[in-house]
Amino acid sequence: MGQTKEVIKENKMGTMPVTKLIFTMSLPAILSMTILAMYNVVDSIFIGNYSQKGLTAMSLVYPLQLVLISVSVGTAVGVNSLVSRKLGEKQFEQANSAATHGLITCFFSYALFLILGIFSVRPFMSLFSTDAETVQYGVDYLTIVLCLSLFSIIQVMIEKTLQATGNMIYPMLFQMVGAVVNIIFDPLLIFGVGFFPEMGVAGAAIATVFGQFCGMLFAVIVLFTKTHEVKITFKGFKLSANVLKQIYAVGFPSIIMQSISAIMTLGLNAIFTANNSAASVTVLGVYFKLQSFVFMPCFGLNQGVLPVLGYNYGARNKKRVYSTLKVGITVAVSIMAAGVLLMWLIPDKLISLFGGDQSLMNAGVPAFRIISLCFIPAAVSIILITLFQATGKGFRGLFISFARQLVVLLPVAYLLSVVIGVDAVWYAFPIAEAVALVIALLFFVNLVRNDFKKLQ
């Protein structure tokens, strides 16, 4: 088993120059999340070129995939926040306990998705499509991905646990292994290359799960054979309600915050379906895949910034907290600005990757340009929400996401569809993001005036 270091020395998160530290911590995570974005997009690109109905099915199953990601990542964020804070406070045994509890929670989460995979997939698909072929494609994909989701849940937990100690390289490698395996096996199993059978959408799901298994296996080996600043041990371990409470104080709001995206997507799909706009349903799915190339690097930055903020907040170092926040916002805005340029300059080329017809192109080009207006304000909100998570104020991030996606975006989208038409629905994205940013800034001011007074 990995052992804690015998000689305790100051963690780099409390000593290294902030700008250098942020890039050292974030670049591997940014690369890792970019790889994850590729992981998600590759399936849809291959499936789009295999079957347009398969691509529509992938758009419809996306909300349940979001729920899976939300639970696994949200819980792991709670563990990451607790571990990094305990390390900053020099409470190493409590950090070890938090990490061990994190691994146990993986099996709680998996039980939920196993049940969903067995009982809910076909009823879910039937709600949004009457086309038998589209429904079957969705059932094939979701059943495999949900029933074998334990691999991805464990991998994510180990990634976040190691990131809390400042180790960003191994999590990147875990993602890279899974992505490479998935990319290799996708065309082999979808189209049936060589001695591999043609499995279509089911083949994409199998390739995805196999990639996740390989990434998890690598992560488990590294966790238990290498030396880390936290130690996972089950000897004398007792499940603590208090530790779980601390994990989910940040983790549960993060889960809900990310799951809200699934509800929002379901709502938008319902609006488009009610307006008989199948092309818009597919555009929404394609957009979410492509925007991940912009948002995933920001979330990678988020992963590097979170433990630094948590550590220095725990160490009561106000200057380093502010410096980290400033660098994080600057880099996030730069990433998002690049995304806006891509969405405005080459939206047609991006859509063509998915083998779409002219109706998809006509609906997608203006949609991409309109939605991208929300990118830059979203960058600031993402980093501020990261600050709230790092300081144990996870419910503030939950409130912001709830307001953005449910209180503002869905009602505005519905009103626009009724008053102007379905093509105007996309304006709901920048409107909602502007409101979310205002709320985030108000919460930040409150944090500065209250909690930051105890920092030195």
pLDDT of residue 168: 76
* Nearest CA-CA partner of 186 in 199, 195, 173: 199
- What whole-number distance in Å separates Cα of residue 346 and Cα of residue 344? 6
CA angle 72, 76, 82 (to 5 degrees): 160
- What whole-number distance in Å separates Cα of residue 399 and Cα of residue 389? 12
Radius of gyration of the chain (CA): 22
Alpha carbon dihedral 192, 180, 116, 49, in 10-degree steps, equals: -40
**pTM for the model:** 0.75
DSSP class of residue 16 equals S
pLDDT of residue 11: 65
- What whole-number distance in Å separates Cα of residue 284 and Cα of residue 23? 32
- What whole-number distance in Å separates Cα of residue 254 and Cα of residue 431? 23
Q: Quickly count: other Cβ atoms within 10 Å of residue 9's Cβ.
A: 7
pLDDT of residue 320: 87
Low-confidence ranges of the chain (pLDDT < 70): 1-11, 13, 32, 36, 39, 356, 456
Phi-psi region of 177 (alpha: psi -120 to 50; beta: other; left: phi over 0): alpha
Query: Helices then strands (H, E): number in the chain?
Result: 17, 0
* AA identity, residue 247: I
* AA identity, residue 442: L
Encoding tokens for residue 366? 């203006």
- What whole-number distance in Å separates Cα of residue 50 and Cα of residue 189? 11
pLDDT in tens, 162-212: 988 888 789 889 988 998 899 899 999 999 998 999 999 999 999 999 999
pLDDT of residue 10: 59
Q: By the 8 A CB rule, do 351 and 285 touch?
A: no
pLDDT in tens, 148-159: 999 999 999 999
Q: By the 8 A CB rule, do 68 and 41 touch?
A: no
What residues have CB less than 8 Å from 376, skipping those under 6 apart? 333, 336, 337, 340
